[in-house]
Homo-oligomer: A and B are copies of this chain.
């Protein structure tokens, strides 16, 4: 018996003359006089395998009638050098069986479909070139993330999804409960009756939890789903998305900057190396210049400026280059997307790391600089997307951290465990966060987050 091969294997082997069995879905079928040409795709690669059918060998009524776009077929045949353009090899079929037909109402007939339409059939859209390519890139990025950290002896920590903290400050949260809301009467909920005996939510970040394992295992990362209940119906917001958050003991801001830069380059190189067909497709159909942009980032040294320098650059742009921003520029402001994009796209024309932000606009856990005004935060801005990574050295001084927590209104009792990490064997440590979807959007050129998530969850949308 011949083993069923994947299209990718057949194309790679180019074993002209050998007999193979392949199976997959019919992308299209074209009839000529004596021959039919089937474009077969099995998801193992971007491209299709051309199946050549000598109609004299087949009973049209029995088999070929059901070979339509969307049908699944199994093909036995001989590998031959292709005379047509677009492929090196093709299969001269000796036997075809239809595994599953596709009725005429199959929604993915051969033509271009809008991404909006594809979202309505998310359960079928992996059979399209675009979504198939996106998911393969997402896969390569996800694995490269693990490889990067495993090569450096980091420990992958699954931080909790359900949390009793309700104030990590990163955004609105979803509540998790087993109380039957329909039957609940008026008045406050008695949470002692809830599953966990307290009010619980879905996590917005694994950072605080992963810090705890960092102060013990040294170098750790979490990579899992995070949730925001923000009522934002934009192309960049999803309620459920995946985040990578490494945390490194004994790393200070300099080392954080170095590893963040290495990390981004590593991921881009992985995509350039493993997804050439997909990138060609995105470069041609979705975002011209994409590959060149990625190559530039992968080979360039990231620039560095402090927040204070960035404000000066922006002010200078207004004063001397006639640049107009919607939002005013003053030391102390939170940089808006328009400011970030000016810095990376027009001023630096490449990736830039901005550090040392005013403490008021950053999280309580960032380490205070000696000036007492700024913290050792770091954002990495890249052309085409703006902020891609946010991180910081963490405050490792017990008293300063506690002071800061009180200042921002956190319950010091509830976060006692987090303070303990500074009470017992505190060490300098740093970490950053990367949103997987934002990265995938960047390297594919896709402009809507809904198209880089298998089944996106957004305001009023939770189908499938």
Which residues of B sit under 8 angstroms from A124, Cβ to Cβ? 212, 216, 420, 424
Minimum CB–CB distance for A262 against chain B, Å: 15
Q: How far is the CA of A219 from the CA of B70 in the complex (A)?
A: 18
Minimum CB–CB distance for A271 against chain B, Å: 14
Kindly identify which residue among B100, B142, B146 contacts A425, using a CB–CB cutoff of 8 Å: B100
Q: How far is the CA of A172 from the CA of B217 in the complex (A)?
A: 35
Kindly identify which residue among B179, B186, B418, B455 contacts A160, using a CB–CB cutoff of 8 Å: B455
Q: How far is the CA of A386 from the CA of B205 in the complex (A)?
A: 35
Contact with B along A256-267 (1 / 0, CB 8 A): 000000000000
Q: Assuming A155-B43, A229-B178, A462-B198, is B71 touching A425 (CB within 8 A)?
A: yes
Minimum CB–CB distance for A355 against chain B, Å: 21
Q: Are B455 and A240 in contact (CB under 8 A)?
A: no
Q: Are B23 and A427 in contact (CB under 8 A)?
A: yes
Copies of this chain per assembly = 2
Q: Are B417 and A123 in contact (CB under 8 A)?
A: yes
Beyond A160-B464, A164-B462, 5 additional pairs, beta carbon < 8 A = A127-B215, A139-B155, A139-B156, A160-B240, A225-B225
* 6 examples of A-B residue contacts, CB within 8 angstroms: A43-B216, A124-B216, A174-B178, A184-B184, A195-B459, A224-B225
Minimum CB–CB distance for A173 against chain B, Å: 8
Q: Assuming A126-B216, A189-B181, A455-B159, is B464 touching A428 (CB within 8 A)?
A: no
Q: Assuming A153-B6, A178-B174, A249-B42, is B196 touching A460 (CB within 8 A)?
A: yes
Q: Interface size for chain A: under 10, 10 to 19, 20 to 34, or 35 or more residues?
A: 35 or more
Q: How far is the CA of A43 from the CA of B461 in the complex (A)?
A: 43
Q: Are A43 and B217 in contact (CB under 8 A)?
A: yes
Which residues of B sit under 8 angstroms from A239, Cβ to Cβ? 162, 195-196
Kindly identify which residue among B138, B195, B197 contacts A229, using a CB–CB cutoff of 8 Å: B195
Kindly state whether residue A331 has any CB partner on chain B within 8 Å.
Answer: no
Q: Are B135 and A422 in contact (CB under 8 A)?
A: no
Centre residue among A24, A123, A225, A249 by max chain B CB count within 10 A: A123
Q: How far is the CA of A464 from the CA of B159 in the complex (A)?
A: 10
Kindly state whether residue A295 has any CB partner on chain B within 8 Å.
Answer: no
Minimum CB–CB distance for A108 against chain B, Å: 8
Q: Are B174 and A218 in contact (CB under 8 A)?
A: no
Q: Are B176 and A178 in contact (CB under 8 A)?
A: no
Kindly state whether residue A106 has any CB partner on chain B within 8 Å.
Answer: yes
Kindly state whether residue A287 has any CB partner on chain B within 8 Å.
Answer: no
Q: How far is the CA of A107 from the CA of B159 in the complex (A)?
A: 22
Kindly identify which residue among B146, B196, B396 contacts A461, using a CB–CB cutoff of 8 Å: B196
